[in-house]
C-alpha cells in the first residue's frame, strides 16, 4: 500500500483545487517561507482525522478554510482527499484497488467524512486507518517544529508515542473497548442482581400461594370424587327406600280397603241382629280416634317441616357480629342426631316414648342454640330474627296442638278399650255378628297403624330427598359441576342398599371436613395465581440465565484484558529492544560514537500546583498517596564529552538525537508513508549528507514526503514539488520528476 496522491481545495492557502502525485519513494516539497509548504503536511493530518486544531495552527474550523483575497473569493468549505493504492488489499475491509478518504469542513464547523464517495463516521475512518498503522497524530507525520517532540514529551507521552510507532495502539483500543464493555457488563450484573433480589420475596410469596392452590386443586379433585360417591350412594339409597315404601304400602292399603268393606257389612248385620248400645259407641269412638290420628299426623308433619326450616336457617343464616359462626360439620352432626331420634320414634307405637323423644329433641335444640348463639343486642338482621321468632312461635304452637291431639287420642283409646273390655266380658252372650264386627275394627286399627308408620317414613324420605337436592346444589357450588355427575360413579346398587347409614354419615362428615379445608385454602380456582407464579418464575429463570451469561462474559473480558496487557507489555519490550539497537547505530553514526538508549521507568506522578499560589515551574506531590506512572526515559552520552542526559544537549545535538530516534522508531515498524516537515532544518552540510543517507535507507520500507530547505536533502528526491504564492495569495505547485529529467538530459 502507498499514498498515490492528495487533493486539496479551499484548504488554508490552497484556495484553488490542487493535486500532488506521489509516484516516487521520496517526494520533496520546497519553497520560500510562507508559501504554504507546511499546509500540505497539515492537510495530511486533516484528511486522516486530526481533531486538534492547534496541531494544524488554527483555533476554529473556519481557520482551515481559504479566507479569500482581492482576486479570489473566500471558500465556503475546505476539503482534502487522500488516495491510496489498495492492490495488495492492505485495507482488507474494502474490495477496491483505490481507497479515497475525503474530509470536508464547513464554515459552521460541521465536518463530513467519506470513503470512496460514501459518507462514514470519524470512528470508521480511525478504525480503517488503524488497520494499516497510520493516523492523524501518529509518528509518521512530523510537522514543522515537532522533530524533537520525542525528546520533549513526558515519559508517559513518550511511551504512548513508542507504542503508536510499534503499532500497539490497536491493543490499547481493544483494551479500552474491553474495559468499557466490562464496566457495562458489571453494571448489568449489578442491575440484574438487584432485579432478582427485588423479585425474590414476591416469588417466594407466589410460590407459597401456588403450593396452596395446587393443594386446593388436589383437595377439590378429592372432593369431587367423594361427592360423586356420596351422591351416587345417596341416590341409590333413596331410590331403594322409596321403592320399598311403595311395595310395603300395597298390601296394607289393599287389606284396609277390604276391611272397610267387611266392616260396613258387619255393622249392618249387627244392627239387624239388635246390636248393642256399646257397639254404636265404639264405632263412634273409632271414627273419632281415626280423625284425631289424622289430625295429629298432619300437625306432626307440619311440625317436622317447621323444624326442618329452622334447622336450615341455623346452617345458612347470617353470621353477624352478634352471632357465632357454626361450623358446617357441627351442623351436620346436629342434624344426624335429630334424624336418628326421629327414625327411632317412627318405629315405636308407644305414645310415652314419642313424648320422651320430643322432649329430647327440644332439649337437643335448646342446648345447640345455647352453645352457638351469642347474646347480641340486636346488631344481627332484625328481619332475620323476627322471622326466626315467628317460626319458633309457630313450632311451639304446633307442638302444643300435637300434644293436645295426643292427649285426646289417648282419652279416646282408653274409653274404647274400656268399652271393648265390657263387650269382651259379655261376648258369650253376644251375637256372632258383634264379635265379627269387633274383630274387623281391631284389624282396621292395626292396619291403619301400619299405614301411618309408612306415612311417617315417607315424610322422612321426602325430607331426605329435599336434603339430597340441597346437597346437590351445594356440591355444584363447592366443587363444580363435575361433582354433581354422580351417575358416572361406579357403585353397585346392592352395596348402596345393604350398607349401614353410619358409613354414609361418615362420608358426609369427610366431605364437610374437606369443604372446610378447601375454604381455608381459598375456594377459587387460583388460575391467576398459578399464571402469575409461572410468569414470575420464568422471569427469574431468565434473569438467572442472563446473570450467568453476564458473569461468563465478565470473566471472559477480564481474561481478554489480562491477555492484551500481557501481549502489549511483551511486544512493547521487544520493540524497545529493537529500537535501542538501531538508535545506538544511528546515534553513533551521527555523533561519531557515544551511547543512546531508551529505558522503561516508573515514577511517582507529580502534579503542578496552581500558578497563582506557587511558581509555575514548581511541582509538588498532591494527595495522600502519590500516583505511579510508567514511561520511557532517554539516556544519552556524547563521545569525548562529559554530557549525560537530554538537558545538557545543545540545539544541534538535540536535533541529531531526535533524528536518530525518529528514524530508529520508523525503521523498526515502518509505516506505509512518512511526512517529514523540515526535520533537517538545524543540520549542517556534513550532517545533511548523513540525513540524506538515512532517508534513502528508510525509503526502502516507507514512502517519504519531505518538506525541506536543505539542498542536500533535495538531492535524494524522486519528485520535487515547488510551492509558490502569487499576488492573489493562493499557493501553487510546480513539479519536477528527476528520473524523467535525467532520462531527457541523457
pLDDT at 689: 85
Distance of CA 710 to the CA centre of its chain: 73
Are the C-beta atoms of residues 468 and 234 closer than 8 Å to each other? yes
pLDDT at 316: 55
Q: Is the pLDDT of residue 378 over 70?
A: no
Say whether 30 sits in a helix, a strand or coil.
Answer: strand
Q: Which residue did the predictor score with more confidence, 216 or 332? A: 216
Q: Which residue did the predictor score with more confidence, 214 or 186? A: 186
DSSP state of 499: S
Task: Tell me the pLDDT tens digit for each residue of 192-230.
Answer: 999 989 888 888 888 888 888 788 888 888 888 888 888
% of the chain exceeding 90 in pLDDT:
19
Task: Tell me the pLDDT tens digit for each residue of 21-45.
Answer: 998 899 999 999 889 888 998 999 8
Which is nearest to 688 in space by CA: 667, 662, 709, 705? 709
Label residue 617 by pLDDT band (50, 70, 90): very low
Task: Tell me the pLDDT tens digit for each residue of 466-486.
Answer: 888 888 888 888 777 888 887
Label residue 432 by pLDDT band (50, 70, 90): low
Highest mean pLDDT among 407-416, 589-598, 650-659: 589-598
Task: Tell me the pLDDT tens digit for each residue of 97-126.
Answer: 999 999 999 999 899 999 999 999 998 898
Region 720-725 average pLDDT: 92
Task: Tell me the pLDDT tens digit for each residue of 351-377.
Answer: 766 777 777 787 778 777 766 664 444
pLDDT at 116: 94
pLDDT at 256: 85
Determine which helix (DSSP H) or strand (DSSP E) holds 397, and give its type and residue range. helix 382-425
pLDDT at 457: 83
Which is nearest to 436 in space by CA: 256, 259, 278? 259
Label residue 277 by pLDDT band (50, 70, 90): low
Determine which helix (DSSP H) or strand (DSSP E) holds 657, and give its type and residue range. helix 651-668
Could you give the CA distance from residue 269 to residue 281 in angstroms, rounded to a whole number?
Answer: 16
- For 229-285, the three-class secondary structure string (H helix, E strand, C coil) is HHHHHHHHHHHHHHHHHHHHHHHHHHHHHHHHHHHHHHHHHHHHCCCCHHHHHHHHH
Are the C-beta atoms of residues 512 and 325 closer than 8 Å to each other? no
Are the C-beta atoms of residues 156 and 631 closer than 8 Å to each other? yes
- Judged by average pLDDT, the poorest of 75-79, 181-185, 460-464 is 460-464
Region 677-696 average pLDDT: 84
Label residue 181 by pLDDT band (50, 70, 90): very high
Q: Which residue did the predictor score with more confidence, 429 or 646? A: 646
Which is nearest to 107 in space by CA: 72, 70, 74, 82? 74
Label residue 611 by pLDDT band (50, 70, 90): very low
Label residue 275 by pLDDT band (50, 70, 90): very low
Give the CATH class of 1-138+673-746: alpha beta
Label residue 723 by pLDDT band (50, 70, 90): very high
Which is nearest to 74 in space by CA: 9, 3, 150? 9
Angstrom CA distances, 594 to 223, 438, 635, 647, stand at 104, 163, 11, 16
Task: Tell me the pLDDT tens digit for each residue of 231-255.
Answer: 888 888 888 888 888 988 899 888 8
Are the C-beta atoms of residues 8 and 79 closer than 8 Å to each other? yes
CB neighbours of 348 closer than 8 A, spacing ≥ 6?
A: 354
CB neighbours of 736 closer than 8 A, spacing ≥ 6?
A: 719, 720, 722
Label residue 424 by pLDDT band (50, 70, 90): low
Mean per-residue pLDDT of the chain = 81
Highest mean pLDDT among 302-316, 393-407, 512-526: 393-407
Residue spans of the domains in the chain: they are 1-138+673-746, 251-491
- What count of residues does the chain have? 746
Label residue 464 by pLDDT band (50, 70, 90): confident
- For 543-561, the three-class secondary structure string (H helix, E strand, C coil) is HHHHHHHHHHHHHHHHHHH
pLDDT at 10: 93
Region 378-382 average pLDDT: 54
Label residue 321 by pLDDT band (50, 70, 90): very low
Region 710-738 average pLDDT: 87
Amino acid at each position: 500500500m502507498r499514498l498515490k496522491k492528495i487533493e486539496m481545495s479551499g484548504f488554508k492557502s490552497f484556495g484553488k483545487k490542487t493535486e500532488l502525485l506521489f509516484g516516487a519513494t521520496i517526494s520533496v516539497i520546497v519553497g520560500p517561507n510562507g508559501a504554504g509548504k507546511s499546509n500540505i503536511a497539515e492537510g495530511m493530518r486533516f484528511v486522516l482525522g486530526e481533531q486538534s486544531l492547534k496541531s494544524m495552527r488554527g483555533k476554529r474550523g473556519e481557520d482551515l478554510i481559504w479566507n479569500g483575497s482581492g482576486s479570489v473569493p473566500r471558500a465556503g468549505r475546505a476539503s482534502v482527499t487522500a488516495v491510496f493504492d489498495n492492490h495488495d488489499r492492505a485495507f482488507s475491509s474494502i474490495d477496491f484497488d483505490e481507497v479515497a478518504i475525503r474530509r470536508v469542513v464547513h464554515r459552521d464547523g460541521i465536518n463530513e467524512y467519506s470513503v470512496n464517495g460514501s459518507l462514514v463516521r470519524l470512528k470508521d475512518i480511525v478504525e480503517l486507518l488503524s488497520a494499516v498503522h497510520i493516523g492523524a497524530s501518529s509518528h509518521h507525520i512530523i510537522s514543522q517544529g515537532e522533530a524533537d517532540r520525542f525528546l520533549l514529551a513526558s515519559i508517559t507521552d513518550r511511551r504512548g508515542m513508542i507504542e503508536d510507532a510499534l503499532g500497539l495502539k490497536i491493543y490499547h483500543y481493544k483494551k479500552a473497548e474491553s474495559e468499557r464493555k466490562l464496566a457495562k457488563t458489571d453494571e448489568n450484573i449489578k442491575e440484574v442482581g438487584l432485579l432478582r433480589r427485588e423479585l425474590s420475596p414476591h416469588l417466594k410469596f407466589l410460590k407459597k400461594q401456588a403450593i396452596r392452590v395446587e393443594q386446593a386443586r388436589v383437595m377439590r379433585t378429592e372432593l369431587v370424587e367423594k361427592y360423586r360417591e356420596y351422591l351416587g350412594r345417596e341416590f341409590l339409597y333413596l331410590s331403594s327406600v322409596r321403592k320399598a315404601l311403595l311395595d310395603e304400602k300395597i298390601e296394607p292399603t289393599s287389606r284396609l280397603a277390604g276391611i272397610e268393606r267387611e266392616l260396613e257389612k258387619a255393622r249392618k248385620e249387627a244392627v239387624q241382629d239388635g246390636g248393642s248400645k256399646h257397639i254404636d259407641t265404639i264405632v263412634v269412638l273409632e271414627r273419632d280416634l281415626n280423625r284425631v290420628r289424622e289430625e295429629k299426623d298432619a300437625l306432626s308433619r307440619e311440625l317436622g317441616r317447621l323444624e326442618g326450616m329452622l334447622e336450615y336457617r341455623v346452617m345458612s343464616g347470617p353470621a353477624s357480629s352478634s352471632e357465632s359462626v357454626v361450623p358446617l360439620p357441627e351442623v351436620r352432626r346436629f342434624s344426624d342426631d335429630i334424624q336418628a331420634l326421629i327414625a327411632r320414634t317412627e318405629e315405636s307405637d308407644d305414645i310415652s316414648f314419642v313424648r320422651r323423644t320430643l322432649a329430647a329433641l327440644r332439649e337437643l335444640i335448646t342446648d345447640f342454640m345455647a352453645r352457638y348463639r351469642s347474646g347480641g343486642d340486636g346488631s344481627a338482621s332484625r328481619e332475620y330474627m323476627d322471622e326466626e321468632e315467628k317460626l319458633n312461635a309457630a313450632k311451639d304452637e304446633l307442638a302444643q296442638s300435637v300434644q293436645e291431639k295426643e292427649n285426646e287420642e289417648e282419652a279416646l283409646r282408653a274409653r274404647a278399650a274400656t268399652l271393648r273390655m265390657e263387650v269382651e266380658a259379655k261376648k258369650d252372650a253376644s251375637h256372632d255378628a258383634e264379635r265379627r264386627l269387633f274383630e274387623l275394627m281391631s284389624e282396621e286399627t292395626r292396619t291403619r297403624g301400619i299405614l301411618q308408620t309408612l306415612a311417617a317414613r315417607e315424610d322422612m324420605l321426602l325430607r331426605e330427598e329435599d336434603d339430597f337436592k340441597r346437597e346437590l346444589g351445594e356440591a355444584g357450588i363447592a366443587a363444580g359441576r363435575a361433582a354433581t355427575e354422580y351417575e358416572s360413579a361406579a357403585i353397585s346398587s346392592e352395596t348402596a342398599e345393604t350398607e349401614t347409614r353410619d358409613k354414609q354419615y361418615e362420608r358426609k362428615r369427610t366431605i364437610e371436613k374437606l369443604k372446610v379445608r378447601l375454604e381455608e385454602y381459598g375456594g377459587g380456582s387460583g388460575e391467576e395465581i398459578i399464571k402469575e407464579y409461572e410468569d414470575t418464575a420464568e422471569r427469574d429463570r431468565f434473569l438467572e440465565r442472563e446473570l450467568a451469561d453476564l458473569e461468563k462474559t465478565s470473566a471472559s473480558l477480564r481474561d481478554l484484558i489480562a491477555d492484551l496487557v500481557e501481549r502489549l507489555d511483551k511486544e512493547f519490550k521487544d520493540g524497545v529492544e529493537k529500537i535501542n539497537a538501531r538508535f545506538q547505530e544511528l546515534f553513533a553514526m551521527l555523533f561519531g560514537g557515544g551511547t543512546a538508549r531508551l529505558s522503561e521507568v516508573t515514577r511517582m506522578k507529580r502534579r503542578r500546583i496552581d500558578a497563582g499560589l506557587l511558581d509555575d515551574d514548581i511541582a509538588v506531590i498532591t494527595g495522600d498517596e502519590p500516583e505511579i506512572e510508567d514511561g520511557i526515559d532517554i539516556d544519552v552520552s556524547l563521545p569525548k564529552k562529559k554530557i549525560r542526559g537530554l538537558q545538557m544537549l545543545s540545539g544541534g545535538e538535540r536535533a541529531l538525537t531526535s533524528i536518530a530516534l525518529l528514524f530508529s522508531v520508523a525503521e523498526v515498524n515502518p509505516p506505509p508513508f512518512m511526512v517529514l516537515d523540515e526535520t533537517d532544518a538545524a543540520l549542517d552540510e556534513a550532517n545533511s549528507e548523513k540525513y540524506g543517507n538515512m532517508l534513502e535507507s528508510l525509503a526502502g520500507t516507507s514512502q517519504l514526503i519531505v518538506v525541506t530547505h536543505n539542498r542536500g536533502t533535495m538531492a535524494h528526491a524522486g519528485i520535487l514539488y515547488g510551492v509558490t504564492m502569487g499576488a492573489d495569495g493562493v499557493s501553487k505547485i510546480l513539479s519536477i520528476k528527476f528520473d524523467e529529467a535525467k532520462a531527457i538530459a541523457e
